[in-house]
Amino acid sequence: MSDLYLKLVNTPVGKTAAQSLGLPSPIPLKRLKRVDQPFIEGDVLMGAGQGARAIATLGNIVGASPATLHHASGLETLAESSKAGPKARPLDITGLSDTTFPALVFDASGLQKPDELRALYDFFHPTIRRLATNGRVLVIGQDPHTCRKAPQAAAQQALEGFVRAIGKEIGKKGSTANLLWIAPNAENQLDSSVRFFLSPRSAYVSGQTVRIGKASEAKATNPVAPLAGKVALVTGASRGIGAAIAETLARDGATVIGLDIPAALDALRSVTSKLKGKAFACDITDDEAPKIIADFIQKETSGVDFVIHNAGITRDKTLGNMPEHFWDMTIAVNLTAEERIDEELAARNLMRENGRIVCISSISGIAGNFGQTNYACAKSGVIGYVESMARHLKNGMTINAIAPGFIETQMTADMPFTIREAGRRMNSLSQGGQPVDVAEAIAWYCNPASAGVNGNVVRVCGQSLIGK
């Protein structure tokens, strides 16, 4: 769906009018144009606080891009920035002139106590105004759950507030800020996440914290087709976010089995035929659905690598006015069906080693929403399901969720005008996301190098003001 306001305020007359009326002036977000596009280009500045553990790894990852790498110098608190590796040239940040940075990357993983947080100020204070439009702030910390001492946990937890606040300050430039919390010795799991969060693929992801744990050594993948040879099942793939997921996973090399209700089969076929994928009609709430899906997978491919539980419905009514079938259907499609399908595929050994399960939650499941007790309940249940399953999966499998905010699809086009406009603007980027923004985040979860990313709920919401 088109956002006419976004187009209007980016004309000279519209920009002046919006400024004089104090209205938001969203910046058009840069998204991926070509699959072989480098994940970052231009001048990238890296910094590190005391005891930084990931700085050398970060230097290697960013050093593999065509970006010109700099490490901060000139301040004692940032001395460890020089460990960013041979490709990084020193840059005295106390006397910056006219350089603009598409990305500022800071390794805070070694901070042991709150007074060491001063390094954040020292790095970002002189540089943040030099962040380019559509820029990226990326901070690396240590997961506070793994900190032994309270001062260390306090310093590491503090990073979350810092990143969320900075995200709100830079959102008006179309820029994002995110935090990667690594477990001890999990630096070798950073590659796919650093690439994702620095790239245009994460255009609508801001204010997020991702926990990255230890996993078997992340395999180097083909950056242009990282999912080659993999098979993905995508539910609700005939339109909207599901169609974008199918297209994005296929673009990255996967073979897609698209599933949707029988009434959507023609639309589904038009999506999957372009991708050389398979279309499969099934109502996921039918009693026999898990068995029918498993039979189809067994016959067609003998197993899947990715299961993307995207199918979802809303049936909004305030609770006192809600007919019982609204409640039952919403829970069945958005929550129960996912569990039943996963159970059947696991029982019949149809999920391959290093498989990925991705569920779609919603901001509504995090914050609740008027008239959506059923939907919020189901989408919150999705989070509980993901967090619990993440502790039990074996064979290198992971499970994660995406919680979309306002995404421009048929579902949001059907909203009343005022609610739709409020939903679009109430985030740091002052605009709705595109289906591809959700799809790109799912492709990152599915990347073979994302083995350490497990049990996360990442919001694709432009840092919505609603919810945590």
Interface with ligand NAI, residue 239, by CB under 6 A = yes
Taking alpha carbons only, the member of 359, 37, 10, 308 closest to residue 199 is 37
Which lies closer to ligand NAI via its Cβ, residue 105 or residue 443? 443
Interface with ligand NAI, residue 238, by CB under 6 A = yes
By CB under 6 A, name the one of 240, 290, 355, 381 that touches ligand NAI. Answer: 240
Q: 171 is written with which tokens?
A: 């959102």
Residues taking part in catalysis: 375
Query: Which segment (110-118, 205-213, 279-287, 294-302) binds ligand NAI by CB under 6 A?
Result: 279-287
CA gyration radius for the chain? 22
Query: Which segment (117-125, 173-181, 390-398, 407-415) binds ligand NAI by CB under 6 A?
Result: 407-415
Which lies closer to ligand NAI via its Cβ, residue 288 or residue 353? 288
By CB under 6 A, name the one of 48, 78, 261, 386 that touches ligand NAI. Answer: 261
Q: How far is the CB of 210 from ligand NAI (least distance, A)?
A: 19
How far, in Å, CA of 294 to CA of 337, rounded? 13
Which lies closer to ligand NAI via its Cβ, residue 241 or residue 457? 241
Interface with ligand NAI, residue 462, by CB under 6 A = no
By CB under 6 A, name the one of 3, 187, 252, 260 that touches ligand NAI. Answer: 260
Percentages (nearest 5) of helix, strand, coil residues in the chain: 45, 20, 35
How far, in Å, CA of 196 to CA of 183, rounded? 19
DSSP string spanning 403-417? Answer: EE-SB-SHHHHTS-H
Instruction: Build a one-symbol-per-residue string for 114-153: x at contacts with ligand NAI by CB under 6 A, - elsewhere.
Output: ----------------------------------------
By CB under 6 A, name the one of 127, 192, 235, 373 that touches ligand NAI. Answer: 235
Which lies closer to ligand NAI via its Cβ, residue 82 or residue 285? 285
Interface with ligand NAI, residue 258, by CB under 6 A = no
SS3 433: strand
Query: Which segment (14-22, 61-69, 278-286, 297-305) binds ligand NAI by CB under 6 A?
Result: 278-286
How far, in Å, CA of 331 to CA of 354, rounded? 29
Interface with ligand NAI, residue 401, by CB under 6 A = no
Interface with ligand NAI, residue 412, by CB under 6 A = yes
By CB under 6 A, name the one of 26, 85, 404, 452 that touches ligand NAI. Answer: 404
User: How far from each other are the two terminal CA atoms of the chain, in whole angstroms?
Assistant: 27
Which lies closer to ligand NAI via its Cβ, residue 377 or residue 411? 411
Interface with ligand NAI, residue 333, by CB under 6 A = yes
- Any bridge partners for residue 139, and if so which? 106, 179
By CB under 6 A, name the one of 241, 308, 397, 443 that touches ligand NAI. Answer: 241
Which lies closer to ligand NAI via its Cβ, residue 84 or residue 461? 461
CA dihedral 208, 213, 218, 222 (to 10 degrees): -10
Interface with ligand NAI, residue 313, by CB under 6 A = yes
Q: How far is the CB of 454 from ligand NAI (least distance, A)?
A: 21
Interface with ligand NAI, residue 234, by CB under 6 A = no
β pairing state of 131-142 and 176-182:
parallel
Interface with ligand NAI, residue 338, by CB under 6 A = no
The three state secondary structure string of 334-361 is HHHHHHHHHHHHHHCCCEEEEEEEEEEC
**What does DSSP assign to residue 220?**
P
The answer to whether the CB of 263 falls within 8 A of the CB of 311 is no
CA 284 to chain centre: 25
SS3 89: strand
Determine the length of the chain: 468
Distances in whole angstroms, Cα of residue 177 to Cα of each of 62, 165, 171, 356 = 17, 9, 9, 26
Contacts 24+ apart (CB under 8 A), 60-65: 60/85, 61/190, 61/191, 61/194, 61/195, 62/103, 62/105, 62/194, 62/198, 63/87, 63/88, 65/38, 65/39, 65/40, 65/41
By CB under 6 A, name the one of 409, 427, 431, 456 that touches ligand NAI. Answer: 409
- Site residues (CB under 6 A) for ligand NAI, limited to 341-360: 360
Query: Which segment (18-26, 136-144, 166-174, 260-268) binds ligand NAI by CB under 6 A?
Result: 260-268
By CB under 6 A, name the one of 43, 160, 283, 295 that touches ligand NAI. Answer: 283
The residue sitting closest to ligand NAI, measured at its beta carbon, is 312
Interface with ligand NAI, residue 460, by CB under 6 A = no
Q: How far is the CB of 258 from ligand NAI (least distance, A)?
A: 10
By CB under 6 A, name the one of 250, 311, 345, 389 that touches ligand NAI. Answer: 311
How far, in Å, CA of 159 to CA of 229, rounded? 38
CA 399 to chain centre: 13
Q: How far is the CB of 453 from ligand NAI (least distance, A)?
A: 20
Q: How far is the CB of 283 from ligand NAI (least distance, A)?
A: 4
Q: Which residues bind ligand NAI (CB under 6 A)?
A: 235-236, 238-242, 260-261, 264, 283-285, 310-313, 333, 360, 362, 404, 406-407, 409-412
